[in-house]
Structure 1
């Protein structure tokens, strides 16, 4: 199955049985270090995860890490940025921890990040945004931000259907539009298509509803620009509501049914917001939003904006999840100018790894990891990206990691 890698000894693969993940006490977990600061933050995250698993389970459980390759690191080994070995490893292992990778703008290869999500059908991009004590957040209500964004991961602009303005394909599309629909575009127009399907909309809504039920969330909001793009984003809203009523009818209530009243006990409120208003709302009334479901591009914008409210991308985790497979990664970029300097903040990568632990059902270790990170940051022990706003001496990536591990050991298995 694998050409240039082989699974490590001493571990077992996670399996799927009767629609559920069957997780051994020693699961093999692949990791892609990524580009730029990726190797530093992923190494730090793995150290903290190992410490949390050890403390939470007293040595009865252990992750067996498996290095695999994608991006710049993969090219000299495989002659490609995304080898089949990597895809097969993640399909087999069911989970992976991934560092940030560089994506060129305007030219060069298409995003390896996007390719991984599409080829593995990781259709739900899940981005929790929650304030951490001690972060110098710019927002007045930062401590009230606790939002999980579910961004559809396979359609909209991520479908990648576009043609350069001077290509023969673009010319054909312009001619077709003029001939068939009397739509005339300027001859120097680049063209992209924005597909949004009922199928993809329903399954991202299902992921959001499952999360709401699992973690006791009371509000699920569908964000869209359906007042303008009526047959794409408009139907994203229509299909999402349709699905919620069809599958979760006894568990949901819609905004128009409340008439200004409280959400009934045991119910989840399903509502919607126009995209531009959604940005206004998360700034002025963040406490009104718990889960937000979006098409692809909206979710990209919104998750970065929400992360800014609580202090920035350095503390923002992310996950890309399909029916069973999950790939967990920070949402920040590869920051090449900081690579190799031991100054990068590993918090986002580590919180992404905590999401991975939740995904496999190791909630005790995940909670311990989150508590230790918050305790460390709240005590003023932070990396340079946070320290410069506080006017204090920063810790290196390694020093911060050591401080988190100390707090993991101090907190023990009390999570």
Structure 2
């Protein structure tokens, strides 16, 4: 039995979280949830965005499943997601993007995984504002060690999962020092994994290539801001944020999450699509070694996605969150 921290989040978070836990229970997945929360709801109740009880749970379980979380805007609070990533050095943001039968997309044949450096770059929080001059400076901190870690992680993943190519997206023609650090780090990793093809592309060309011919890419690695943008672009290629998974992984902790927003406008209405959180939970199962259970649930999800009568509204159906989850349960082992 695996003990997992469960963070339902805000807005539609509790609804999609319940859908996932109901599916896991029906499938008898060997996990035990330890529920803790963070975000706007927790702040309203206790005055804390990230309670110590949540941190204690994470440090005990080392694995979490997290729903969408709202950080209050305009009150000086730092992003909860960034705080957790930096506190626990969750330096890999891993975002698969794959076309799936039953999910509408303009493309076919996409099966790529993006590795975004998750703790440095322009998200380091190094900002200075000179009020007298009206100048804001934001520092994109790139370290040699951080670059080595994310590039090696991308190559190691490619090797482990039978992927053939790693593409680095960078801007070394303008950001010469930062770009060079990333290129050199990838070249080092490439030497360690010589059976993996390595290529690099300038970020603006990379965006065009992703739209023109996304099926050419396999594993993509990049810095924090570029990865933030590219990961949503890739999600758009395969159906949107509501159908893709996400993970924040370090050397000894991993938090798997739905990467879409908390959608407070539809909270409590039974309209929410739990696919993104479920797929993130399946990534989690692979991470903890429950591969057969993950594959079993993925098959049930894919069967359900092909039956529009059983899908939620954003997927072209009329089913509620609960009805969609029940359809996945009904499709287990078919």
Same fold, judged at TM 0.5 (above): yes
What are the residue-to-residue correspondences of 1:157-172 with 2, within 5 Å?
157-166=122-131
For 2:123, what is the secondary structure of its paired residue? helix
Q: Of 203, 207, 212, which residue of structure 2 is paired with 1:284?
A: 212
Deviates more, 1:41-50 or 1:307-316: 41-50
Q: Of 111, 135, 141, which residue of structure 2 is paired with 1:146?
A: 111
| Partner Cα distance (1:51, 1:217) in 2 | 33
For 1:133, what is the secondary structure of its paired residue? coil
Equivalent residue for 2:232? 304
Equivalent residue for 2:121? 156
Contact 1:150/1:291, CA 8 A, preserved across alignment: yes
Task: Report the alpha carbon displacement of residue 309 of structure 1 after superposing the two structures with TM.
Answer: 0.9
Contact 2:68/2:261, CA 8 A, preserved across alignment: yes
Deviates more, 1:283-292 or 1:73-82: 73-82
For 1:160, what is the secondary structure of its paired residue? coil
1:85 equivalenced with 2:50 (yes/no): no
Task: Give the root-mean-square deviation of aligned CA atoms.
Answer: 1.6
1:65 equivalenced with 2:33 (yes/no): yes
1:321 equivalenced with 2:267 (yes/no): no
Contact 2:155/2:189, CA 8 A, preserved across alignment: no
1:384 equivalenced with 2:330 (yes/no): no
For 1:113, what is the secondary structure of its paired residue? helix
What are the residue-to-residue correspondences of 1:170-185 with 2, within 5 Å?
none
Aligned length: 333
Contact 1:97/1:328, CA 8 A, preserved across alignment: yes
Contact 1:152/1:204, CA 8 A, preserved across alignment: yes
| Partner Cα distance (2:323, 2:290) in 1 | 26
| Partner Cα distance (1:108, 1:378) in 2 | 44
Equivalent residue for 1:109? 77
Task: Report the alpha carbon displacement of residue 208 of structure 1 after superposing the two structures with TM.
Answer: 1.1
For 1:228, what is the secondary structure of its paired residue? coil
Equivalent residue for 1:402? 326
Contact 2:94/2:116, CA 8 A, preserved across alignment: yes
Contact 1:123/1:321, CA 8 A, preserved across alignment: yes
Contact 2:40/2:71, CA 8 A, preserved across alignment: no
| Partner Cα distance (2:67, 2:211) in 1 | 29
Structure 1 stretches of 4+ moved >6 Å: none
For 1:92, what is the secondary structure of its paired residue? helix
Contact 2:154/2:221, CA 8 A, preserved across alignment: yes
Contact 1:45/1:349, CA 8 A, preserved across alignment: yes
| Partner Cα distance (1:226, 1:307) in 2 | 25
Contact 2:117/2:222, CA 8 A, preserved across alignment: yes
Check 1:106–1:295 CA distance in 2 against 1; reply closer, same or farther (3 A cut).
Answer: farther
| Partner Cα distance (1:315, 1:51) in 2 | 21
Equivalent residue for 1:240? 186
Which of 1 and 2 has greater Rg? Answer: 1
Encode CA deviations 1:171-201: one digit per residue, 9 max, x unaligned.
Answer: 6xxxxxxxxxxxxxxx111121110011011
Gap runs ≥5 in structure 1: 1-25, 55-60, 172-186, 253-266, 388-392
TM-score by length of 2: 0.95
1:34 equivalenced with 2:9 (yes/no): yes
Task: Report the alpha carbon displacement of residue 160 of structure 1 after superposing the two structures with TM.
Answer: 1.2
| Partner Cα distance (1:200, 1:355) in 2 | 23
| Partner Cα distance (2:55, 2:266) in 1 | 29
Task: Report the alpha carbon displacement of residue 163 of structure 1 after superposing the two structures with TM.
Answer: 2.8
Task: Report the alpha carbon displacement of residue 107 of structure 1 after superposing the two structures with TM.
Answer: 5.1
Encode CA deviations 1:113-149: one digit per residue, 9 max, x unaligned.
Answer: 1101111111100000011111111x2xx22111100
Q: Of 84, 92, 95, which residue of structure 2 is paired with 1:124?
A: 92
| Partner Cα distance (1:63, 1:73) in 2 | 25
Equivalent residue for 1:51? 26
Deviates more, 1:71-80 or 1:274-283: 71-80
Q: Of 183, 189, 200, which residue of structure 1 is paired with 2:135?
A: 189
